Amino acid sequence: MEVLFTFVPKDHQQEMLEKEFPNVDFHFTKQDKSRLSHAEIVVTYGEDLTAEDIEKAANLKWIMVASAGVEKMPHKAILEKGITVSNVRGIHKTPMAESVLAHLLSIKRSLPTIYEKQTQREWHRKIRSSELSGSTALIIGPGAIGGEIGRLLQAFGVSTIGCNRSGKQADYMNEMVSFENILEVLPKADTVISVVPSTEETRGMLGSEHFKAMKSQAIFMNFGRGDLVPEDVLVKALNDGEIGYAVLDVFEQEPLPSDHPLWGMENVVVSPHVSSHSGRYVERALEIFAPNLKKWLENNSDLTNQVNMEKGY
């Protein structure tokens, strides 16, 4: 059986796989799909497979996506061929939760101003800082990542409200609300954090009425997908003072165009989709892939983190 990686793990990670699965023919390539027609399994970041690739992949049975999002994949072609898809949902929770907390603490404790004054060699003590303790955070998408964000925030004395499709209880949430009732809780939130994937339900889910419902000093943080809110709506909300700050790791168009107004706004942090980056990323991905490969070789199709390609998650 042949497994094609369209990215190249570190040498010791390749050796680990080859030692654990001696009867599997691994090909580790970077953006080289010449072996695609032979592979039964493809391991990819999910952005380099086209419908034409799927058509050529005569033996392909399983795609392992080393990412949580699958929105850039050719869903129709994959569904038509009945290919199993799994992802690495959950491995991002530690780096992303730490990124959210780092940005939030930086804003609350006025670190951007402190750093700026240091570069100017200015002893500036008129710093307006605030605390996380006693505040309320609304977390849109309290799954693995959102739950870890909630856990860390609760340790800082933050009350957490989770918002998901059903409104059913999620870990580390003091309160829950459904997507359709989000307007009811937005006025309570000091921080609004989105970590939802891109689905039919979440695309364009937040509009101008949602930002009008937020506190004027609220911090809006989007670490899920850029199509949650039209960027012109977000820019207007910031310019009109409907919210106080935005921290954005994802955008409608990536890379963010150099002439985009978000770059020049003092109350915006532009993070170039790096919140999940970690030196342990591939290591954690392989910790999900290897047990799944063992199942696959034993004809057990009950893989961890299977993706419903019709729903997109």
Q: Which one from 80, 254, 277, 287 is the annotated catalytic residue?
A: 254
Quote the CA–CA distance of 105 and 91 in Å, as a whole number: 23
Quote the CA–CA distance of 244 and 216 in Å, as a whole number: 6
Looking up tokens 């977000």 gives 234
Burial label, 187 (beta-carbon count in 10 A; 0-12, 13-18, 19+): exposed
What residues contact 59, with CB distance under 8 A and at least 6 apart? Answer: 2, 37, 38, 39, 40
Q: Which one from 89, 210, 225, 284 is the annotated catalytic residue?
A: 225
Burial label, 171 (beta-carbon count in 10 A; 0-12, 13-18, 19+): middle
Nearest C-alpha neighbor of 227 from the set 254, 260, 189: 254
Q: From the CB of residue 196, how many other CB atoms can be counted at a distance below 10 Å?
A: 26
Q: Which one from 109, 201, 273, 283 is the annotated catalytic residue?
A: 273
Helix (H) or strand (E) holding 176: strand 175-178
Residue 35 known to be catalytic: no
For residue 255, say if its preceding peptide bond is cis, omega within 30 degrees of 0: yes
Residue 254 known to be catalytic: yes
Count of all residues that appear for the chain in the document: 313
Residue 277 known to be catalytic: no
Q: Please check whether residue 223 is in contact with residue 251, taking contact to mean a CB–CB distance below 8 angstroms.
A: no
Looking up tokens 């390539």 gives 29
Burial label, 214 (beta-carbon count in 10 A; 0-12, 13-18, 19+): buried
Quote the CA–CA distance of 169 and 65 in Å, as a whole number: 28
Q: Please check whether residue 46 is in contact with residue 70, taking contact to mean a CB–CB distance below 8 angstroms.
A: yes
- Which residues are catalytic, by number? 225, 254, 273
